A = this chain, B = another copy of it.
Amino acid sequence: MKFKEVDGGVCAPKGFKASGIHCGIRKNKTKKDLALILSEVECSAAGVYTSNIVQGAPVIVTREHISRNGRAQAIICNSGNANTCNANGIEIANGMCALVEEKCGVPADKVIVASTGVIGQRLEIEPIKNGMDELVASLGDNSVSANEAIMTTDLVPKSVAVEFEIGGKLCRIGAIAKGIGMVCPNMATNLIFLTSDVAISPDILQAALSEDVRSSFNMISVDGDQSTNDTCCIMCNGLAGNKEISGDCPDLKIFKKALHYCTVKLSKMIAKDGEGATKLIECNVKGAKSVKMAKTVAKTIIKSSLVKAAMFGADANWGRVLCAIGYSGEKVNPLKIDLDFVSCAGRLPVCRQGYGVDFSEEFAKQVLSEDEIDINVNLNLGSCKAVAWGCDLTYDYVKINGDYRT
Do B402 and A223 have beta carbons less than 8 Å apart? no
Proximity bits, A112-148, B CB within 8 Å = 1, else 0: 0000001111100000000000000000000000000
Given contact pairs A306-B223, A361-B406, A402-B310, A334 touches B393 in the complex (Cβ within 8 A): no
Considering the complex, give the chain B residue whose CB is closest to the CB of A182. B306
Interfacial residues of chain A within 213-249, with CB under 8 A of chain B in the complex:
223-228
Nearest chain B CB to A121 CB, angstrom units: 7
Do B355 and A87 have beta carbons less than 8 Å apart? yes
A326 at the interface (CB under 8 A from B): yes
A201 at the interface (CB under 8 A from B): no
A395 at the interface (CB under 8 A from B): yes
Measured CA separation A234–B54 after assembly (Å): 42
Tell me which of B118, B223, B322, B401 contacts A85 (CB under 8 A).
B322
Proximity bits, A55-87, B CB within 8 Å = 1, else 0: 100000000000000000000000000101111
Do B224 and A224 have beta carbons less than 8 Å apart? yes
A331 at the interface (CB under 8 A from B): yes
Do B181 and A306 have beta carbons less than 8 Å apart? yes
Nearest chain B CB to A80 CB, angstrom units: 14
Nearest chain B CB to A222 CB, angstrom units: 9
A98 at the interface (CB under 8 A from B): no
Do A54 and B322 have beta carbons less than 8 Å apart? yes
**B contact residues around A84 at 8 Å (CB):** 319
Q: Can you tell how many copies of this chain the complex includes?
A: 2
A320 at the interface (CB under 8 A from B): yes
**B contact residues around A326 at 8 Å (CB):** 52-55, 226, 228
Do A355 and B401 have beta carbons less than 8 Å apart? no
Do B401 and A398 have beta carbons less than 8 Å apart? no
Do A323 and B405 have beta carbons less than 8 Å apart? no
**B contact residues around A313 at 8 Å (CB):** 401-404, 406
**B contact residues around A393 at 8 Å (CB):** 398, 401-402
Measured CA separation A401–B310 after assembly (Å): 6
**B contact residues around A226 at 8 Å (CB):** 323, 326-327
Measured CA separation A242–B121 after assembly (Å): 60
Proximity bits, A290-324, B CB within 8 Å = 1, else 0: 00000000000001111001101101111110111
Do A52 and B327 have beta carbons less than 8 Å apart? yes
Nearest chain B CB to A84 CB, angstrom units: 7
Do B398 and A394 have beta carbons less than 8 Å apart? yes
Do B225 and A304 have beta carbons less than 8 Å apart? yes
Considering the complex, give the chain B residue whose CB is closest to the CB of A313. B402
Considering the complex, give the chain B residue whose CB is closest to the CB of A88. B355
Do A119 and B323 have beta carbons less than 8 Å apart? yes
Measured CA separation A177–B226 after assembly (Å): 33
Considering the complex, give the chain B residue whose CB is closest to the CB of A334. B54
A325 at the interface (CB under 8 A from B): yes
A204 at the interface (CB under 8 A from B): no
Measured CA separation A224–B402 after assembly (Å): 19
A103 at the interface (CB under 8 A from B): no
Do B322 and A51 have beta carbons less than 8 Å apart? no
Nearest chain B CB to A90 CB, angstrom units: 12
A356 at the interface (CB under 8 A from B): yes
Would you give 14 A-B contacts (Cβ < 8 Å), ordered by A? A53-B332, A86-B355, A120-B351, A120-B356, A224-B224, A305-B397, A309-B401, A309-B402, A313-B403, A315-B402, A315-B404, A315-B406, A317-B404, A393-B401
The residues of A with any CB-CB pair to B shorter than 8 Å are: 51-55, 82, 84-87, 118-122, 181-182, 186, 223-228, 303-306, 309-310, 312-313, 315-320, 322-327, 331-332, 334, 350-351, 354-356, 361, 393-395, 397-406
